[in-house]
């Protein structure tokens, strides 16, 4: 639609999960993070993009699909296990249809979930042939979605850069993985946890990255002060462009008090038949050790600040989605009208979120995006959706300023990933990083096949240990044992291999075993640490 | 993922007190910090500062100890874990479910790892935790310990205290914090943000032995130096230059704009209107992304 354009809104969804892959056992609940995200976020987003495409709505959205996520989505074993997960859910839904026959409203909801999981199976197997990534790639290829990359394993740069080569490797592997899946170079990167440090700019440049996303103060506290605040990007002296998050729109979505996801008509996250149903009945569908966990089948809506929860009603939820999409739409109009009177260049309102907010946490989120995008396209407004790349191409004159060291964690710096709960880990990450560089320098361009495999596996173990997720989980206090175990496993495997390589006693069986477990970055070349 | 869910907050509330009692860490103490008046006369420094340091006992050690314990009493732990997680049935459990022995597991190498207790290297490293907190960790290799004992006497480590000397390279001053041998890491409070820092690890004699008195300057024995860190900035600088530098990122040409000729910019007034400091701080503190409260 042709409309006067005074400014832009840019949605950036960060899709990331840590690499969880346990061929040795099916009992790791953590593998379900992926399955939940596929069913609740990735498939709903793809289906909504499809609807928009079919309705000829010209929209724009940007998503980072991180290398660990891409690796898991393309992993045959995990695909197989996802299908199994869906089949179990469909089986449970069938039982639910019988169990809830006594109550019409409840029974309708059981039917709703039965349809939904059945459709997931159909979409996953028949439409995408188990390859969700191809779905995202399609929308990138038709020009509505811009996919950006991320650090190889979401390593947090402000902590790793004590050894800059480890930051360089995170960037290099992130870019290479992207190329492998999407057949071209990424223009942008989601810095893991939005952790910006000026020291990384030279490597970002080296690997062809044009822009990064930062937290609000990454721009506001920049030097010199940006004359357009967060409403235009800045470019660092090294030549990396930084877009900063808009506070106002973020708060509207996120606020714990009156944020959109708290609407009383929306689905209640914490009521789940995994907790509510009769124990013997639900036992086959919860954790293997009998602990009640969420199943994803949730029959209640938020209802209010009460213990009592009413049944979920998808139609009511849709009404709230419409209302809130309208509110967001109007708020951006107002914001852009005000800003454009103060700026000589069209403002860009950058709205970055965790992708898993949409659908997994805020169940109605993907529908909200769909309705909002339709509104922006059809309704009367003087702004448009844009991707950061398009904005750069349209408005290439950008103020030079160095972004502020920052992250999107609580308080805005490094405290979430470095505090008294997890600080014992950092020396191990640093030492392993130094040792990896030592190995690369000691055995450059290794010809011996076994030693080369061992060196590459060392690089994988190091990268996996560096995931910011482990530090985050330890701080956050859920699944702590698993996160601690992962750090120990990867540092342990790295150290064992490091010693074996140095003493020329590589245990082939061990190497093969951990290669199969930590099956990520098949084409990695340890020489990135040289 | 347990990210930013209410669940996480709830659990935090449940778990925090427990954690505190088990983690036996962090006592905060105030220490007055002396200026160091030695080494290259860098002490054109600021007046003496009251500096807060958070002391922390060697957590790695404890971590290791507990985990070792876990390994030896694995069975017990498993059962106890299960019971706790059943109790708090509203959370996703990380507890790995009891293994059913299947074929896949049998072919896998049995692995169990602890983090190495130490790496036997002489080093001191620093990281910025916040704009005004540095995290420091260190170690002295056995060989270097031996050398020090050979040079300064076999009671060197009992007769000296470890110290950290903090250099602010940007503002060109130095201060010293006395630490202790029970710790292997520390949090240092800094008064100046957005500065380049590095740190020295050294030791000071409680009583300087007479036979080596002449060899020691200022009662200080240098051990090693850290990496450099630039701490983050923590406020809007409002340092609009008269001319703002722009770059055309397509052609890489740089050009200047006179700020007074620019009608449309967010000046200080606009800035404060749109982003009042309270607003930013509140936003960052409650950053919804990580939900740590």
User: What are the DSSP calls for A58-125, one per residue?
Assistant: ---EEEEE-HHHHHHHT-HHHHHHHHHHHHHHHHHHHHHHHHGGG-HHHHHHHHHHHHHHHHHHIIII
**Which of B108, B248, B280 is opposite residue A397, by nearest beta carbon?**
B248
pLDDT the model gives residue B287 = 64
User: Chain A, 370-389: which have a CB under 8 Å from a chain B CB?
Assistant: none
8 A C-beta contact, residue A270 and residue B88: no
In this complex, do A210 and B249 lie within 8 Å of one another by their Cβ atoms? yes
Question: What percent of chain A has pLDDT above 90?
Answer: 95
A-B CB pairs within 8 A amount to 315
State the fold for domain A7-74+131-267+312-411: 7-stranded beta/alpha barrel (3.20.110)
- pLDDT tens digit sequence for A90-123: 999 999 999 999 999 999 999 999 999 999 999 9
Give this prediction's pTM: 0.87
Contacts of B231 (CB under 8 A, 6+ apart): A405, B128, B131, B132, B134, B190, B192, B193, B194, B195, B197
Question: What percent of chain A has pLDDT above 70?
Answer: 99
8 A C-beta contact, residue A232 and residue A222: no
**Which of A229, A405, A472 is opposite residue B271, by nearest beta carbon?**
A229
Tell me, yes or no, if B206 comes closer than 8 A to chain A by beta carbon: no
Residues of B in contact with A509 (CB under 8 A): 109
Cα dihedral A69, A73, A77, A78 in deg (nearest 10): 70
Residues of B in contact with A212 (CB under 8 A): none
Residues of A in contact with B70 (CB under 8 A): none
Which of A367-381, A411-425, B94-108 is least confident?
B94-108
Nearest to A367 by CA among A316, A407, A434: A316
Tell me, yes or no, if B170 comes closer than 8 A to chain A by beta carbon: no
Give the pLDDT band (50/70/90) at residue B276. Answer: confident
B224: which strand partners? B201
Residue B237 burial (CB count, 10 A): 16
- pLDDT tens digit sequence for A438-459: 999 999 999 999 999 999 999 9
Give the pLDDT band (50/70/90) at residue B69. Answer: very low
Task: Give domain limits for chain A.
Answer: 7-74+131-267+312-411, 418-529
Mutation choice for B interface testing from A16, A197, A392, A478 by most B CBs within 10 A? A478
Tell me, yes or no, if A356 comes closer than 8 A to chain B by beta carbon: yes
User: What are the DSSP calls for A455-522, one per residue?
Assistant: HHHHHHHHHHHTBHHHHHHHHHTSSHHHHHHHHHHHHHHHHHHHHHHHTT---HHHHHHHHHHT---T
In this complex, do A406 and B232 lie within 8 Å of one another by their Cβ atoms? yes
**Which of A256, A344, A489 is opposite residue B113, by nearest beta carbon?**
A489
Superfamily of domain A418-529: Families 57/38 glycoside transferase, middle domain (1.20.1430.10)
State both tokens at A278.
């009769």
- Judged by DSSP in three states, B98 sits in coil
Query: Nearest CA of chain A to the CA of B200: how many Å?
Result: 16
In this complex, do B96 and A25 lie within 8 Å of one another by their Cβ atoms? yes
pLDDT the model gives residue B265 = 74
Domains of chain B plus CATH, in order, are 26-60+117-230 (2.60.40.10), 243-285 (no CATH)
Across all residues in chain A, what is the average pLDDT? Answer: 96
Question: What percent of chain B has pLDDT above 70?
Answer: 60
Query: Nearest CA of chain A to the CA of B25: how many Å?
Result: 8
Q: Could you tell me which chain B residue has the CA closest to the CA of A431?
A: B119
Query: Nearest CA of chain A to the CA of B217: how many Å?
Result: 31
Tell me, yes or no, if B106 comes closer than 8 A to chain A by beta carbon: no
Please state the φ and ψ torsions of residue B144, each to the nearest 5 degrees. -70, -35
Q: Could you tell me which chain B residue has the CA closest to the CA of A271?
A: B90
Residue B118, classified by CB atoms within 10 Å of its CB into exposed (0-12), middle (13-18) or buried (19+), is middle
DSSP helix, strand, coil percent of chain B (3-state; round to 5): 30, 25, 40
ipTM at complex level: 0.94
Give the pLDDT band (50/70/90) at residue B133. Answer: very high
8 A C-beta contact, residue B174 and residue B200: no
- Rounded-to-integer distance, Cα A275 and Cα A268, Å: 13
- pLDDT tens digit sequence for A469-493: 999 999 999 899 999 999 999 999 9
Residue A159 burial (CB count, 10 A): 27
In this complex, do B94 and A479 lie within 8 Å of one another by their Cβ atoms? yes
Provide the greatest CA pair distance for chain B. Answer: 76
A348: which strand partners? A8
Dihedral angle sign, alpha carbons of residues B284, A391, A188, B264? negative
**Which of B2, B81, B227 is opposite residue A478, by nearest beta carbon?**
B2
- Rounded-to-integer distance, Cα B42 and Cα B105, Å: 61
Nearest to B234 by CA among B281, B283, B169: B281
Tokens 């200022």 -> residue: B218
Give the pLDDT band (50/70/90) at residue A344. Answer: confident
Integer-rounded Cα Rg, in Å, for chain A is 24
**Which of A344, A408, A423 is opposite residue B59, by nearest beta carbon?**
A423
pLDDT the model gives residue A125 = 97
Query: Nearest CA of chain A to the CA of B228: how many Å?
Result: 8
Tell me, yes or no, if A271 comes closer than 8 A to chain B by beta carbon: no
Please state the φ and ψ torsions of residue A153, each to the nearest 5 degrees. -125, 25
- pLDDT tens digit sequence for A202-249: 999 999 999 999 999 999 999 999 999 999 999 999 999 999 999 999
In this complex, do B135 and A418 lie within 8 Å of one another by their Cβ atoms? yes
Tell me, yes or no, if A283 comes closer than 8 A to chain B by beta carbon: no
Tell me, yes or no, if B240 comes closer than 8 A to chain A by beta carbon: yes
């Amino acid at each position: 639609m042709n409309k006067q354009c005074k400014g832009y809104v840019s949605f950036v969804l960060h899709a990331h999960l840590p690499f969880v892959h346990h061929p040795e056992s099916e009992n790791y609940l953590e593998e379900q993070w992926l399955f939940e995200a596929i069913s609740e976020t990735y498939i709903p987003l793809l289906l909504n993009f499809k609807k928009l495409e079919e309705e000829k709505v010209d929209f724009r959205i940007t998503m980072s699909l991180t290398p660990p996520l891409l690796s898991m989505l393309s992993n045959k074993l995990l695909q197989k296990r996802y299908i199994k997960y869906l089949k179990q859910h469909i089986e449970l839904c069938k039982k639910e249809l019988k169990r809830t026959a006594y109550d019409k409203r409840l029974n309708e909801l059981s039917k709703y979930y039965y349809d939904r999981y059945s459709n997931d199976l159909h979409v996953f197997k028949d439409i995408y042939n188990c390859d969700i990534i191809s779905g995202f790639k399609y929308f990138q290829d038709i020009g509505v979605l811009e996919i950006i990359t991320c650090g190889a394993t979401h390593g947090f740069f402000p902590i790793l850069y004590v050894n800059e080569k480890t930051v360089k490797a995170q960037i290099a592997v992130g870019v290479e993985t992207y190329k492998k899946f999407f057949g071209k170079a990424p223009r942008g990167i989601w810095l893991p946890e939005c952790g910006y440090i000026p020291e990384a700019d030279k490597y970002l440049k080296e690997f062809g990255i044009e822009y990064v996303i930062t937290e609000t103060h990454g721009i506001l506290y920049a030097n010199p002060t940006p004359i357009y605040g967060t409403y235009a990007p800045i470019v660092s002296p090294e030549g990396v462009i930084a877009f900063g998050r808009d506070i106002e729109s973020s708060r509207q979505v996120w606020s714990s008090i009156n944020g959109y996801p708290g609407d009383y008509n929306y689905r209640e996250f914490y009521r789940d038949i995994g907790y509510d149903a009769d124990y013997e009945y639900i036992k086959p569908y919860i954790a293997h050790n009998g602990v009640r966990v969420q199943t994803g089948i949730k029959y209640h809506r938020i209802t209010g600040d009460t213990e009592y929860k009413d049944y979920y009603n998808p139609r009511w939820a849709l009404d709230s989605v419409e209302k809130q999409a309208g509110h967001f739409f109007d708020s951006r109009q107002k914001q852009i009208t005000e800003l454009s009177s103060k700026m000589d260049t069209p403002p860009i309102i950058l709205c970055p979120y965790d992708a898993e907010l949409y659908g997994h946490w805020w169940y109605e989120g993907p529908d909200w995006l769909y309705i909002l995008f339709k509104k922006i396209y059809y309704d009367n407004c003087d702004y448009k959706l844009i991707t950061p790349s398009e904005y750069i191409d349209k408005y290439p004159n950008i103020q030079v300023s160095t972004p502020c060291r920052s992250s999107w964690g609580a308080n805005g710096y490094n405290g979430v990933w470095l505090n008294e709960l997890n600080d014992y880990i950092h020396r191990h990450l640093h030492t392993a990083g130094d040792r990896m560089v030592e190995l690369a320098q000691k055995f450059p361009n290794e010809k011996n096949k076994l030693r080369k495999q061992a060196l590459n596996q060392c690089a994988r173990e190091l990268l996996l240990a560096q995931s910011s997720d482990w530090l985050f989980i330890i701080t956050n206090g859920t699944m702590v044992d698993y996160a601690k175990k992962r750090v120990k496993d990867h540092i342990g495997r790295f150290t064992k291999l490091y010693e074996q390589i140095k003493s020329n006693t590589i245990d082939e069986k061990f190497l093969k075993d951990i290669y199969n477990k930590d099956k990520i970055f098949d084409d990695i070349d340890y020489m990135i640490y040289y | 993922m347990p990210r930013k869910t209410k669940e996480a907050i709830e659990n935090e509330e449940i778990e925090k007190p427990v954690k505190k009692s088990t983690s036996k860490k962090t006592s905060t103490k105030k220490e007055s910090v002396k200026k160091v008046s030695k080494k290259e006369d860098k002490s054109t420094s600021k007046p003496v500062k009251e500096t807060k340091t958070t002391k922390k006992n060697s957590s790695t050690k404890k971590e290791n100890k507990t985990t070792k314990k876990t390994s030896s009493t694995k069975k017990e732990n498993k059962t106890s874990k299960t019971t706790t997680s059943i109790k708090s049935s509203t959370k996703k459990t990380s507890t790995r479910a009891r293994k059913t022995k299947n074929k896949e597991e049998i072919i896998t190498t049995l692995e169990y790892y602890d983090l190495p207790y130490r790496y036997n290297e002489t080093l001191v490293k620093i990281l910025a935790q916040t704009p005004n907190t540095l995290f420091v960790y260190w170690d002295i290799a056995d060989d270097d310990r031996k050398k020090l004992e050979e040079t300064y006497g076999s009671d060197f480590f009992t007769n000296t205290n470890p110290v950290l000397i903090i250099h602010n390279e940007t503002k060109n001053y130095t201060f010293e914090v006395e630490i202790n041998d029970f710790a292997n890491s520390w949090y240092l409070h800094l008064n100046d943000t957005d500065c380049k820092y590095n740190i020295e690890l050294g030791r000071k004699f409680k009583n300087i032995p007479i036979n080596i008195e002449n060899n020691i300057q200022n009662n200080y024995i240098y051990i090693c130096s850290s990496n450099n860190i630039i701490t983050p900035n923590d406020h809007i600088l409002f340092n609009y230059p008269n001319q703002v530098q722009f770059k055309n990122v397509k052609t890489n040409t740089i050009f200047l704009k006179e700020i007074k000729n620019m009608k449309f910019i967010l000046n200080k007034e606009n800035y404060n209107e749109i982003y009042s400091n309270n607003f930013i701080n509140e936003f960052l503190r409650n950053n919804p992304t990580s939900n740590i409260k």
